[in-house]
Structure 1
């Protein structure tokens, strides 16, 4: 018998409509799990009040924390009344993503639920939103919740990289599909696989006269179609549930998700950090803003959070 899951739900202090909490409660209908409602708060003005002693500032911080705990208690009371175990954790921290990831590392949460919204693309390239930091640095799966419903009998879409021979891609593909099958089992849903492959490089077609772009494209497509079908068969998924399209993943994955009206898209994220992440981001981050359904971001099994190293 598997042990109960321990789920973190990130509370949004700006709204009464807590879609991540609602989704986690819905998830708890199908899974044996307990929830922790987590909120990271910070008010710079309390740190700058020089007229107060350190002890007085701490007292003010604790009063704010207590107030937020009472507010969350009201939010979760209807679920507690129905027997669901919901703990409350309010943390005073000036960087919400660090507070979330640190709590995951300290408490060993199995999954994080967090509401999300569309990001401004230009700002996201310069000022990375909390969601992006969590995607890169949180070691456990992160479910970013949108407003799409979870009806039974729908579709769960898995974004795979089946054309790669690299071991970590193969391992991550299997990890994603196994998680998708568990979710699909909960919702009586169907699992579909989607794989994007690159088109003919224009510069090669121009620079090398004897290069045959049609033959190249046909070979590339055949390679990816065969690889996805082979992966699907390994996991008892029918060929008719595989979708292989030419294009960038951030275009292909949302297109297929819309066509299937998917409840959820599962995508692997390797957790790129540093300058490259600031400039180009990760595929998962580009995809999320274009989806109107939930996204479950999954790390490789051996992923180590940058915050864990420090």
Structure 2
């Protein structure tokens, strides 16, 4: 059976040249899944300066234009044999509307273009993509600016140092999701862990009279063993296992760039892991990598 049966693509009509549509179409074709494309239009506050009658006419014309454009795009995909349905709607609360669509449609995957926000804006407001990472009930495929529409190289980023990821089975789910995507697209699967020695890790490790260098060496050996156990369990070839040194965000970003990665599959904690880095790493890496991120 296919990895995906039903895909939901959320589009911003203002970004008609977004690669998200091409990624969703390629994935739907590879998996023979039904693709539902929803274009959500934020309320046009700028129209409030107009009188009621011209304001409503402007809203109607804009809505019709977006609907016609989306139907034309859908017809192109249908002529290629894809099963595609479309929807256009006005929204006031973008996150709530997206989550409602997920609850109604029950997709196997939610697909959306990464929406970059400035550091200043992030300091005062939680970005929409971060809200979805924390609240969405299904895996999210966040489309980046680079990478093949049909992935050729998929990376599963796991964290054997996280007790939450180990005990909850999150690492296993990350690998299974990445493996399923790779098989669906006939892509390479790589397994990655980024290891960083910090005072937090060393403090948790317990001294026992060992020096910091010895503690670091012991911790690395332990994590490498756990990492290799995961790799062996899922049959990842030796040449596709990568134990990286450095901060997870920077190390994974550099790896993705150097190895032409199309999709990084990562975990999201949804705030159930108060001591882990999985959730925050996934949120911040959205703004660091050019490839897509599949959050489990």
Scaled by the length of structure 1, the TM-score of the pair is 0.80
Cα deviation, 1:158-210, whole Å, max 9, x if unaligned, reads 110113344665511111111111221233322111112331429979xx9x6
CA distance, structure 2, for counterparts of residue 21 and residue 266 of structure 1:
20
Equivalent in the alignment of 2:289: 291
CA distance, structure 1, for counterparts of residue 151 and residue 250 of structure 2:
25
Task: Report the number of matched residues.
Answer: 289
Equivalent in the alignment of 1:237: 236
Equivalent in the alignment of 1:146: 144
Equivalent in the alignment of 2:267: 268
SS state at 1:282 partner = helix
- Aligned-pair CA distance for 1:37: 1.3
Please show how residues 86-101 of structure 1 align to structure 2 within 5 Å. Answer: 86-101=84-99
Structure 1 residue runs without a partner (length 5+): 299-310
Equivalent in the alignment of 2:34: 34
CA distance, structure 1, for counterparts of residue 143 and residue 189 of structure 2:
19
1:168–1:203 distance in 2 versus 1, CA, 3 Å: closer
1:261–1:37 distance in 2 versus 1, CA, 3 Å: same
CA distance, structure 2, for counterparts of residue 230 and residue 236 of structure 1:
10
CA distance, structure 2, for counterparts of residue 269 and residue 263 of structure 1:
19
CA distance, structure 2, for counterparts of residue 47 and residue 260 of structure 1:
47
Equivalent in the alignment of 2:20: 20
CA distance, structure 1, for counterparts of residue 46 and residue 241 of structure 2:
54
Structure 2 residue runs without a partner (length 5+): none
1:252–1:3 distance in 2 versus 1, CA, 3 Å: closer
Please show how residues 1-310 of structure 1 align to structure 2 within 5 Å. Answer: 1=1, 5-43=5-43, 45=45, 64-150=62-148, 154-166=152-164, 171-201=169-199, 212-272=211-271, 282-298=280-296
CA distance, structure 1, for counterparts of residue 45 and residue 136 of structure 2:
29
Cα deviation, 1:135-155, whole Å, max 9, x if unaligned, reads 111111111112323288942
| Contact 1:117 1:146 (C-alpha < 8 Å) held by counterparts | no
1:48–1:76 distance in 2 versus 1, CA, 3 Å: same
CA distance, structure 2, for counterparts of residue 142 and residue 202 of structure 1:
30
1:51–1:150 distance in 2 versus 1, CA, 3 Å: closer
SS state at 2:225 partner = helix
- Aligned-pair CA distance for 1:38: 0.8
CA distance, structure 1, for counterparts of residue 45 and residue 210 of structure 2:
64
| Contact 1:224 1:244 (C-alpha < 8 Å) held by counterparts | no
| Contact 1:153 1:189 (C-alpha < 8 Å) held by counterparts | yes
SS state at 2:81 partner = coil
- Aligned-pair CA distance for 1:83: 2.5
CA distance, structure 1, for counterparts of residue 49 and residue 214 of structure 2:
70
CA distance, structure 1, for counterparts of residue 201 and residue 193 of structure 2:
24
RMSD: 3.4
1:50–1:12 distance in 2 versus 1, CA, 3 Å: closer
SS state at 1:270 partner = coil
CA distance, structure 2, for counterparts of residue 107 and residue 203 of structure 1:
42
1:45–1:199 distance in 2 versus 1, CA, 3 Å: closer
| Contact 1:192 1:242 (C-alpha < 8 Å) held by counterparts | yes
